[in-house]
Structure formats: structure tokens, C-alpha cells
A and B are shown apart, each in its own frame.
Chain A
Amino acid sequence: MSATQHNSESAPVLAVEDVGVILSGRQILTDVSFCIDPGEFVGLIGSNGAGKTTLLRVILGLQRPSTGRVRVGEGGARDRAIGYVPQKVALDPDLPMRARDLVELGLDGHRFGVPIRQRARHQRVDEMLDAVGAQSFADARVGRLSGGEQQRVLIAHALVSGPRALLLDEPLANLDLRSGQEIVALLHKVATEQRVALLLTAHEMNPLVPVMDRIVYLAEGRAATGTTDEVVRSDVLSDLYGHHVDVVRVHGRVLVVVGSLAGADNGSVPAHPPIEVS
């Protein structure tokens, strides 16, 4: 389940190969492997502390893996090939910056020297604002937008430089249900239309199930990869966790119940934690 087959036609945008990370003596990740193809929508699912953010940092090149490696595109050029939307970006409400300016910084914010005005740049920013549906609040102070609006602007910021892969760390964490659904729909559209490979982390998989092409399920520092139906099964996840795990499907939602609890088999609700619901 660890190695993933993909179309031989298109090379994967991102290949994570046997990545292991040890931080201050603690094994955070063990032999994590998966590939993402262009236009694929992949959810990196796991509870808090499962190692999702660490894995993203390894992919971004901010954290050196203890073992294994990450290949991006045709090798190298990592900065330009990957866009990133960090977790919990707190923007000062008084920041003197319009949403449009933040998107523009996604284009050249890493460059030194004073920017030279170019019509092509502004056009690119406008296209991106259109693509994420942020045109109506493009001229408002970015720090005063709602959480969902800021998330759109940050996605545009990450995508405007034309990366081949986009990583998002818990993009739905601070959003209400409806804004979250809108962001998921937007990301799905972006992945399809712009052929951008998407990898987003979430501790709650259900909002992503309808659009995810594949899932990377992290638990105990190890990963299981495949389609949701292939991975989110009692036998696969029990193997991953190292003890019995129940997967329950109720009203179209998937619930993962962690913990070897007698009685869970005959459908009664487990009375005691640890319970983990995804």
C-alpha cells in the first residue's frame, strides 16, 4: 500500500520516497512514501500530532528528512515548483495592504530590489483573483476580510507564481461549515482547471471525501496511501495503528473509531475514550 502506481504518461509532480524524520530523539515519521500526479487532489489525513505538518515541512525543504528523500518535478527548483498555504495565518487587521497586494507578493515577494511596474504582472494578479473568486474584495484591507475570504486570497498568493503543486496546512481548520465547503469546491476546481497537484492536511476527512482522488492516512508516524475506499478500512487502519480500529459509515460520513474496544463489533457505541473520529 505504500508505493503508489501512477500513469506512466505524466511524471509525478511530487514523489515522497521512504521519508523518515527523527526530531530530538523521537521518531516522527517512518518510511512514508507516496506520489502525486498533476491535477491530483490528495488529502493528508491524521489526528493532531500525527506528523502532518512535519511532512509538509520536509516536502517544502524546510526540514531535512533523516532517511529517504523528496523529489519535486524534474528535480530541483523546489521554491518555484511548490506553493504553500500555512496553517493559521494571522493577518493584522490594520495592515496597510489590499488583498490584491498580497497576491502580487506571491509573484515576486522573494525578489530583492524595488519592483518595476508591469502590466503583465497586474494582469496575472487579476486572473488569479478571478480564479479564486476574490475579485469583489480585492481592494479591501486583507487583514479585515473574513476567514474564508482570507483563505481564498492566500490560495491566490500561493498559486500566482504558477507552481505545479500546492500544499495547504489545515485550510479548513478555522472555517465554518459553509466556507469550508466553498474552499473545498474552489480547490477542486483549481486542481482540475490548472492541473495543479494538491496536497492538503486535515484532521477531519469527511469534507474532502467527495473530491479526494487519493488519501494519505498518517498514524503513528506511518502512512497508508490509496483511494478512500482502499485505505479507510478496518483492516488497513488497524494495521497502521498497530491495534484494532473500527471504520463506521453513517449517513454518508466516515467515522474512524480508534481503540480495541469490545462491543464495537456489534454496533454499540463505545463508552470510553480513546475515540478518534475522522
Chain B
Amino acid sequence: MGWLFEPGFFTSPQVYTALVIGGVTAVVSAIVGVFTVVRGQSFAGHALTDVSATGGSGALLVGVNPLAGFIVGSLAGAGAMEAAGVRHVRGRDLATGIVLGASIGVASLFLYLTTSTTATTGATQQILFGSIFVTTASTVPIVALFSVISLGIIAAIYRPLLLTSVNGDLAVAKGVPVRLVGTAFMAALALAVGLSSLAIGAILSTALLIGPSATALHLTRRISRSLILAALIGLATTWLGILLAYDSADWASGHDSLPVSFCIVGLIFVVYLASAVAAHLTTASRPVDSAGESAAYFRPVPEGDACSPGS
């Protein structure tokens, strides 16, 4: 086992904190991510990461824990997106795009001010690309609290959220308060984005949100299994990524270790590609299931029926 775990991996308090924060965040992101993908809100999720970056860099500038900034930023972004309404897809995309551009601009200002007025040299790296190895153990309880709230929201609205994600009209007919469910989900999403901004960086948190979920959705056709699978994939890639980054310090002397966020995101991407290939291979062997949308309209007609009189 010595070749796998470099000396000090299990005794380093930084590694321990990183494993806890990374693991918890990965599970929350994966579960929220499944619904994000199913609801087609990946772009909204990405926009929240950018607003989250603004919050995080602002927090750093005024000397507050960046996690507070990430959370406040993404919650404010979610609130703004909800207030703007989601009636027209194109209008929503435009508004989202403009807001996320502006927020990254503001983040760059905050980061510039932080690096030029204080001695915090790694600010940009920390906010945009993650700070899991430098996060103190005192942050763990806050991470745990926000994780519980986010997953609690998902658990509370699980079935209405699912029905709304399948089809809004069906949900309305069942008496589901669609708007309320949507707003509650945005809050859960904002918390997940805030947490993953801390773990792997604001810019990269989309990867943790979407990657494991998209992978899981390739591999199963049941929502409950996709939730479990996404959580496991998120957890495995995050922990492996942390291990890889830690070990990489000893691979080439004279170099720093690989950035942990790079390792995690790289692993997520590799797993996603593998699942896409696997999904393609399995559906290719099942022609009825593989045709997707077109199968709904172009079914093979049994012989003899195609030319029956009168049709």
C-alpha cells in the first residue's frame, strides 16, 4: 500500500480536512446535480458558480471566510434568477449570460484589489480554482450545516420536484405548487454551488455538479439509482483526486504537486467519457431503445398492416 499512499497521507490534518470537505461537497453536488441535469438547468448552475466567485472574492477582500462569500453570492444569484422569472427560455438565457459576465468582471476587480492591497498572493487561484488544502478544519462544521440544509431541501421536495422536472403540466394537475418547488430547488442548488466553489473552485464547481450526475444518467434509467451512483462517482473522483494531488508532490522533484482541482476534474472527465462510451455500446446492441426520440415516431410496422384498406 506504500506505493499508493505517500507517507503522511493519513496523518496530515490538511489532507483529513480536504477529504471530509471534498467528500461531503461531492455527495451534495452530485445529488443536486442529478436534478439540475434532469431539469435542464445546467446553464443556470454554471451561472451561479460565477456569481459565487464574485461573493468569494468579495469575502476575501474584506477578510471574511470565503465560504460565506460563495454561499451569499450564489444564493443572491439564485434569488435574482428566480425574481427575473423563467417564462421565456431565450430571455432567461440572455439575462443569465449578461449577469454571469458582469459578475466575473466584478470578481476580477475584487481579486485585483485583494492581491494589490494585501499580501494574499494566491487569491485568484484560491477563489477560481479551489482551496481545499488550505481550508482550515474550523470550516468543516459550516460545510456540514449547509450540506444538511441543501440535502434536506431535496429530501423534502423529492417527489414534487421529480414530477415538476418530468412535466410542468402534470405537476400542476396534481396540485403541486410548481413555483415554490422551483424556488426551493434553486436554494438547494445555490448551496451546493457555494460548497463546491470552496472545494474545487468557483470556475470548476460546475464539473462537480454536472459531471458525476451526467455520468450516472448514462448508466441507469432509474432516478433513485442515478442519485446513489452520482454520489458514489463524485465521492470516488474527489477522494482519488485528492490522493493523486498529494502523491504527485513526490513524482518529480523540484516541482510543486499537481493542483488538486485539476486532478478531480480530470478524473470526472475521464469517467464521464468512459460512461458515454459504455452507454453508446449498450444502446447500440438494443436498437429499439437506442433510436431515442425518433423511435417515438418511426416504429416498425408489422408486415401486412401497412397497406390495410382505408388507411
- A residues near B, CB below 8 A? 60, 62, 79, 83-84, 86, 89-98, 101-102, 105-106, 108-115, 140-141, 143-147, 150, 154, 157-158, 177-178
Q: A79-B174, A110-B174, A140-B289 are in contact. Are A95 and B296 (CB under 8 A)?
A: no
Report B96 CB to chain A, min CB distance, Å. Answer: 21
Asked if B3 is an interface residue, CB under 8 A from chain A, the answer is no
Q: Which B residues touch A144, using CB under 8 A?
A: 289, 291-293, 295-296
Q: Which of B171, B176, B296 contacts A150 (CB 8 A)?
A: B296
Asked if B311 is an interface residue, CB under 8 A from chain A, the answer is yes
A86 to B163, alpha carbons, bound, how many Å?
A: 14
What are 13 A-B residue pairs whose CB atoms fall within 8 Å in the complex?
Answer: A84-B170, A86-B167, A91-B166, A91-B167, A96-B223, A105-B163, A109-B170, A110-B176, A112-B156, A113-B158, A146-B299, A157-B170, A178-B305
Residue of A with least CB distance to B279:
A94
Residue of A89, A105, A147 most packed against chain B (CB within 10 A): A105
Q: How many A-B residue pairs have CB under 8 A?
A: 109
Asked whether A86 lies within 8 Å of B173 as measured between CB atoms, the reply is: yes
Asked whether B166 lies within 8 Å of A97 as measured between CB atoms, the reply is: yes
Asked if B169 is an interface residue, CB under 8 A from chain A, the answer is yes
Residue of A with least CB distance to B154:
A114
A62 to B174, alpha carbons, bound, how many Å?
A: 11
Q: Which B residues touch A115, using CB under 8 A?
A: 158-159
Asked if B88 is an interface residue, CB under 8 A from chain A, the answer is no
Asked if B145 is an interface residue, CB under 8 A from chain A, the answer is no
A146 to B176, alpha carbons, bound, how many Å?
A: 27
Q: A84-B173, A89-B170, A147-B296 are in contact. Are A97 and B163 (CB under 8 A)?
A: no
Residue of B with least CB distance to A137:
B288
Asked whether B167 lies within 8 Å of A93 as measured between CB atoms, the reply is: no
Residue of A with least CB distance to B291:
A144
Report B279 CB to chain A, min CB distance, Å. Answer: 10
Asked if B255 is an interface residue, CB under 8 A from chain A, the answer is no
